[in-house]
Amino acid sequence: MTRRRWIADEVHADRALLLGQNAQHLVRVLRAQVGQEFDVAADGQVRVGKIVSISDDRVEFELREAVAAGPTLDLTLLSSIFKFDRMEWAIEKATELGVARIVPIIARRTDAHLTKAADKRVERWRRIAKEAAQQSRRLDVPEIADPAKLAEAIQKISGTRILLAETELEKTLKSRVQNVSQPVTLAFGPEGGWTEAEIRQFEAAGWATATLGSTILRAETAIIAAVAIAVSELSSTT
């Protein structure tokens, strides 16, 4: 039987802790008891964890033998901020697929009210990512960065950098990510797309452009389609 996996909130040598909502769910919903075993992701590996103490908002595990875990991918998303309900769905699914980090971007066409409210949403996005990481039995939680302006963000990225752009008509994303080395970063525009000036910024910084096909996709659809393609290609070369 497959054990449920948790991502530790704190690790101290061979002890790991679940705190707050994680602990409350394990205690109140799953009725956990001392002596039960779960998989616990801690310090970059998965180990069998035996519960040694329980309180309402704290569960302590004794960490035992290591458990085999799949490879991780160094895949980053630069995502322009878009409607929050759709963005939350995209963060959840991208986490399930295996992205390493997500950088919310303030683009020229990002709605002003979304830009103003984005800073207050970051902690919620991080909670969503952590819940999705545990549900999908990941080894770690993707980093959700603080919102950044486009110009400063694109200069900090290294490795293979790909801009998803409606102006690209020939080079597919699949062709761009075949046999490339990691890290890989994919950039996605806001509703309404990138402006010409922004595309020139990417090109000047050395980013390649790619297409997902001839149809116009919603932001969240483009993210999930692109991540699925990239993960499939990158996993085959890992």
Digit-coded pLDDT (tens) for 130-173:
999 988 888 888 999 999 999 888 888 989 999 998 888 899 99
Percent above pLDDT 90 for the chain = 64
Question: Domain boundary residue among 24, 45, 67?
Answer: 67
Identify which has the larger pLDDT, 1 or 42: 42
Say if residue 134 is in the same domain as residue 85. Answer: yes
- What is the pTM for the complete model shown? 0.81
Domain of 172 in residue numbering reads as 75-237
Say if residue 147 is in the same domain as residue 63. Answer: no
CA 116, CA 133: separation in Å to the nearest integer?
Answer: 28
Say if residue 227 is in the same domain as residue 162. Answer: yes
Say if residue 88 is in the same domain as residue 29. Answer: no
Residue 238: per-residue pLDDT: 58
Average confidence score pLDDT of the chain: 91
Interaxial angle between packed helices 219-237 and 84-97, expressed in degrees from 0 to 180 and rounded to the nearest 10: 10
Q: How many other CB atoms are found less than 10 A from the CB of residue 206? A: 9
pLDDT at 237 over 80: no
CA 84, CA 125: separation in Å to the nearest integer?
Answer: 10
Number of helical (H) and strand (E) elements in the chain, helices listed first: 7, 13
Say if residue 121 is in the same domain as residue 224. Answer: yes
Say if residue 135 is in the same domain as residue 225. Answer: yes
Say if residue 45 is in the same domain as residue 108. Answer: no
CA 67, CA 42: separation in Å to the nearest integer?
Answer: 11
Grade residue 44 by pLDDT with cuts at 50, 70 and 90. confident
Say if residue 137 is in the same domain as residue 194. Answer: yes
- Please say whether the dihedral angle defined by the alpha carbons of residues 191, 208, 234 and 169, taken in this order, is positive or negative: positive
Residue 41: per-residue pLDDT: 87
